[in-house]
Amino acid sequence: MITDSILPTNDDDDNRPTKSKDAHSKYHQAAFKVCESAAITFASIAILGISGYMYHQYYQHQVLTKIRHAFAAGDRSFDLAMRSRTGEGEGEGEREWVVRDEQEVINRAVSGQVVGRYYLLIGEKGTGKTSMLSHALRRVSALNCTMFEAHADPEIVRIRLGKAINYDYHEDYIGSLFSIRGPRDTTALLDIERALDKLEEVAVHEVKKTGRPLVLIVNSTHLLREDEDGEKLVELLQQRAESFAASGMVTMIFNSDDYWVYERFKKLSTRLEVVTIRDLNREKSIEALRMWRRRYFDEPELAREVCDKVYNIIGGRPQFLNRVAQHRDMLGHARSVVEKERTWFLNQCGLLGMEMDDDVMESGKFSSSAMRLMKELVDMEQAERARQGDAATDADHDLPSLPLWRARQVMTRADYIQKYDNLNIFTIDSNSMVRADSTAMMEAFRQIAAMPGFDNLLEDTLERVSQIESLGRTRELVAKDLVGGIGKYKITIEKGSREILVQAVCPADDDD
């Protein structure tokens, strides 16, 4: 008996639609997951990109904001220096200050009243250039101004410029976390160029807002070296100063003790304004002495006779006057200043005489050239005094000077004068006139020239230098055939000819 329960059924046909639906569902889920992952990845990348872009814009905005803050009123780097140089209060600072003719020019440049120029302050060490700049900064509370010190190493200049304008050269940029090659992986000159680019962006905004240019002061520019890197840095700074002056956005002020900076600037300058800072005259020196005596000893009035004697010894160099005013015995300390200058000159350029070793011939040339120039200046002064007779005792010091080309003729060298300028022995002003670095140094020149036997010592040194040079140009020839007496040479010099004919003659034969 066959029943329905044992009839055959087709299960595979019934399961086929279910399996197909399951496979389709799996593919759909996989595709959904892929799309979901892609969407999440795209959203993450988009958020990261937008965040990075917003961070970059925020960082660039902060860079410019920090530079603007650097030109706000007050300069943290020079606030203490300005107070110590110019006094505490406004009234006291104006009272305790010797007004100079050049101060008004500097004040107008620092306050932004002059547009289209950049400045070079040049003068000997201790004439008061930095003090005048500090006084001008104090008058405007360093508003729209900043200042930094130059250095022989361009890397240090980079750091000091960044500190002055509050620029970090992207060293705090977060991109460095991802090992991205940033702007810092470069040279100091390129970093300085980037910093000045940012300064230009800030200057455009500030000039529109205030109508006055920003002021960037480079102090001690003479400290830059005269090597390849130093010359490139000077050229970069001058190019920027020229372009800033042409646009009226930034006024750059350079301060230098040495003449070589002016020589470099002179080649490419079109908008350069040179301000020469000289020593004080007699009346200003007396005013400065009395001012400093009131400050240090509360002395109401210093006798005119004492001031005249001090001025006659050390002249009107503010550095020397301030140093002398701090001592009770001003005349004694003024003489010690001259003695220090004389010792410094002899230590650097002392003569060695006929006993000079041939290994130090360069030192002999250096010293004898300086002594020649020194003697020429002393002789010029004596001739001028003999011509004028007894000059008035209240006259200002007028040190004898020579044109630069003439000084090189006297020294018979053209390369030493710059070294003398660096050593503060001689100085070269903006008119290319050479003279003693100071009145105290000129007094030291007189004392050295008056020493017994100085002229003979100078002549002996010059003669010894000539002998050493002659030995260096002499060549000794040794003929081996003549040493043993086995031959001889006949040397013939033709008249009017530079050629020397050397003829070998064989020894005579035994049969001859």
Residue 276 is predicted with a pLDDT of 92
Residue 52 is predicted with a pLDDT of 76
Instruction: Please state, in angstroms and rounded to a whole number, the distance separating the CA atoms of residues 120 and 222.
Output: 11
Burial of 23 (0-12, 13-18, 19+ CB in 10 A): exposed
Residue 95 is predicted with a pLDDT of 47
Distances from the Cα of 375 to the Cα of 195, 237, 383, 412, 421, angstroms: 49, 39, 12, 14, 17
Residue 423 in tokens: 């050593």
pLDDT in tens, the chain (512 residues): 444 444 455 555 555 566 666 677 777 787 878 888 888 888 888 887 887 778 778 878 888 888 888 888 765 555 544 544 444 444 444 445 678 889 999 999 999 899 999 999 999 998 989 989 988 998 888 888 999 999 999 999 999 999 999 888 877 777 665 655 555 567 889 999 999 999 999 999 999 888 899 999 999 999 998 888 889 999 999 999 999 999 999 999 999 999 999 999 998 889 999 999 999 999 999 999 999 998 888 888 888 899 999 999 999 999 999 999 999 899 999 999 999 999 999 999 988 888 888 778 888 899 999 999 999 999 999 988 888 765 545 677 889 999 999 999 999 888 899 999 999 999 998 889 999 999 999 999 999 999 999 999 999 988 888 888 777 666 666 666 555 555 566 666 665 555 555 555 555 444 44
Q: Which run of H or of E encompasses 378? A: helix 361-388
Identity of residue 148: F
Instruction: Please state, in angstroms and rounded to a whole number, the distance separating the CA atoms of residues 340 and 355.
Output: 26
Residue 109, C-beta contacts closer than 8 angstroms, at least 6 positions apart: 117, 119, 136, 215, 251, 253, 273
The counts of H helices and E strands in the chain are 19, 10
Distances from the Cα of 76 to the Cα of 4, 73, 107, 142, 416, angstroms: 107, 10, 20, 10, 40
The secondary structure of residue 461, as a DSSP letter, is: H
- Does residue 402 contact residue 417 with C-beta atoms inside 8 Å? no
Domain boundaries, the chain: 70-172+180-276, 283-472
Residue 57 is predicted with a pLDDT of 80
Identity of residue 77: S
- E strands, 182-323, where? 214-219, 250-256, 272-276
Pick the CATH number of 70-172+180-276 from 3.40.50.300, 3.40.980.20, 1.20.1250.20, 1.10.3720.10: 3.40.50.300
Strands across the sheet containing 401-403: 401-403, 433-436, 426-428
